[in-house]
Chains A and B, each alone.
Chain A
Amino acid sequence: MAFNIYDFTTFTQSIDKALYEWLPPFWALVVEMTIIGLVFLIFYAVVGLFLVYAERKVCAFMQNRVGPNRVGPYGVFQTIADFIKLLMKELVYIKNSDKLLFNIAPFIVIIASFMAIAAIPFAKGLHAIDFDIGIMYVVAVTSLGVVGVLLAGWSSNNKYSLIGAMRSGAQIISYELSVGLSLLTIIVLAGTMQFSQIVEMQSTGWFIFKGHIPAFIAFVIFLIASTAETNRGPFDLAEAESELTAGFHTEYSGIKFAFFFLAEYMNMFIVASIAATVFLGGWMPFHIYGWEGFNHIMDFIPPFVWYAGKTAFIIWMMMWFKWTFPRLRIDQLLTLEWKYLLPINLVNILIMALIVLMGWHF
């Protein structure tokens, strides 16, 4: 089995071939899907736990504190301890709630983010499925998550939850537009929606540099809008601990609450991956056109290190936002989207189309 740290294509294909040789096609497919599902499940849990830890540490440093430092060195096992605590907590039974919807809601939220993760390229040849509509698929499945949030808020039969859900719904529906349009700007430049091709095209320079100013504007808008879409601060008025006691997930406890919590962090991870892939070249090393020696040195760093580094950088930026800006009011939130981001975005797409038509990009 050929294992190459720079190109996983042969590795994944040899597993695929071996499975199909051992088993009939139907069972080979089942086994393959089970393996991928298990890998993602473990990945999901590990990344989720790490992000919660990272958030607490970043928050602490921003506020001049130390953060978790008791459980293990630098408190790295703190989130694992928290996770065990959450697993053992009682699932509080709510009278007068719609039990079916109340129980389904966390699953809808988590399935939506789980589906999105399938299309993300982690390294060369290392992604579950390479759709020809990659970007559109991710935008489509992440938009399902809001249904879970709305159902959770309504079925709890609690006015704070309902207000939180309404805010969250209005926010996600509005900001989805900006996320879609800013990605569309890059689709205009790339001419394709397939992630593998988009990454391949950035071998001569990342899109944020190739697309000049419009690509940069699209990147900034994507960061703002996706922070809002994942319900994170300063756009976290759907949860707003101090006003709504936690918004749509007030009534949830134990592992069901953990689902919402985990989904929030995984959504952050997904949008950061998308931003890294679409604007910063994904697993593609940093290349400068014409500098052969420099490009060659950059190629020695494995692709998934590039990918992880870029994603971590964007996640860190999103955490920086959260702990820097105060929470927006609902009217400010909608004004920002409909009066500023959306018009800027529409003009931006036109400028990008002009640049592509005139061939000004390189």
Chain B
Amino acid sequence: MTSNQFMFLLFSAVIVIFSILTVTSRRILRAATFLLFVLVATAGLYFLLKYNYLAAIQLALYAGGIVVLIIFSILLTSHINERLPTSGLMKKLPAALIAILGAALCISVILQYNFIGAVGTTEPTNVKLIGESLINYGKYGYALPFEVISVLLLAAMIGAIILAKKRKD
């Protein structure tokens, strides 16, 4: 077994185990913490692929940003003794069915795909290239997604300000 295979198995095991724990935990903050482990292990997989830029984005955005946001909102709303209620059989059955169907669909698609071994070498992250593709509106450019996300975030920000603003009456 090479070290790459070992690390892949380790990260996969962490992802699988903590994903299951995330959805089965009855304490909501524990679930959020397990989700953090899943996201960090995913970043580990990207590092394994030498896709360092995406790995750092994964760490900064998902693990350091979104999970912190989730934990922050739980901190404000949840009490320490609170337990999520377990759902009844009528909810569990359809959920299990949908989960199995979804997993079957994903696995069948992955198995059908003809994977080719890696060719060529990974190139170091080029900051200039990242910057240029962010403002490029031609082929392989990200100008439109970038602008759309900016507008979306601006709208969310205005919405948050309106909600948080003190009413005059």
Task: A147-B64, A154-B74, A169-B72 given; name 10 further pairs at CB < 8 Å.
Answer: A136-B60, A143-B68, A144-B64, A146-B68, A147-B63, A147-B71, A150-B75, A166-B76, A169-B68, A191-B127
Check: B112 CB closer than 8 A to any chain A CB. Answer: no
A45 at the interface (CB under 8 A from B): no
Q: How large is the interface on B (under 10, 10 to 19, 20 to 34, 35 or more residues)?
A: 20 to 34
A144 touching B72 by the CB < 8 A rule? no
- For the complex, give the distance between the alpha carbons of A146 and B60 in Å: 12
Residues from chain B with a CB closer than 8 A to the CB of A169 are 68, 71-72, 75
CA distance A11 to B150 in the complex (A): 49
Chain B contacts of A192 at CB under 8 A? 127
Chain A hits for B53, CB < 8 A: 133, 136
15 pairs of residues in contact across A and B, judged by CB atoms under 8 Å: A30-B3, A98-B30, A136-B60, A139-B56, A140-B59, A140-B64, A143-B64, A143-B68, A144-B64, A147-B33, A154-B29, A155-B80, A165-B75, A187-B127, A193-B125
> Counting CB contacts under 8 A, is B52 at the interface?
yes
Residues of A close to B2: CB separation below 8 A: 25-26
User: Which of A100, A144, A157, A194 gathers most chain B CB within 10 Å?
Assistant: A144
Evaluate contact between A147 and B59: CB separation under 8 angstroms: no
Contact (Cβ within 8 A) B60 A147: no
Cα(A198)–Cα(B122), bound, Å: 21
Give the distance to chain B from A331, nearest Cβ to Cβ, in Å.
14
Residues of B within 8 A of A288 (CB): none
- Asked if A141 is an interface residue, CB under 8 A from chain B, the answer is yes
Does A96 interact with chain B (Cβ within 8 Å)?
yes
A151 at the interface (CB under 8 A from B): yes
Contact pattern, B 61-90, Cβ under 8 Å of A = 1, otherwise 0: 001110110011011100011000000000
Q: How far is the CA of A187 from the CA of B57 in the complex (A)?
A: 16
Question: Are A150 and B72 in contact, with the CB atoms below 8 A?
Answer: yes
Identify which of A26, A147, A169 gathers the most chain B CB atoms within 10 Å of its CB.
A147
Is A5 in the interface zone, CB < 8 Å from B?
A: no
Q: How far is the CA of A84 from the CA of B60 in the complex (A)?
A: 36
CB distance from B31 to the nearest CB of A (A): 11
5 closest pairs, A vs B, by CB? A143-B64, A140-B59, A140-B60, A132-B124, A136-B56
Q: Cα distance A28–B71 when bound, in Å?
A: 40
B-side contacts of A151, CB under 8 Å: 29, 33, 71
Expressed in whole angstroms, the Cα–Cα distance for A97 and B3 within the complex equals 39
Does B106 belong to the interface (CB within 8 Å)? no
Docked complex Cα distance between A141 and B139 (Å): 33
Q: How far is the CA of A176 from the CA of B60 in the complex (A)?
A: 10
Taking the complex as formed, is A233 at the interface, i.e. its CB lies under 8 A from any CB of chain B? no
B128 interfacial contact with A, CB 8 Å: yes
The CA-CA distance from A100 to B21 in the complex, in Å, is 13
Query: Is B1's beta carbon under 8 Å from chain A?
Result: yes
Interface centre among B63, B64, B124 (most CB of A within 10 A): B64
Are the CB atoms of A141 and B68 closer together than 8 Å?
no
- Other-chain residue from B1, B65, B68, B75 in contact with A162 (beta carbon distance below 8 A): B75
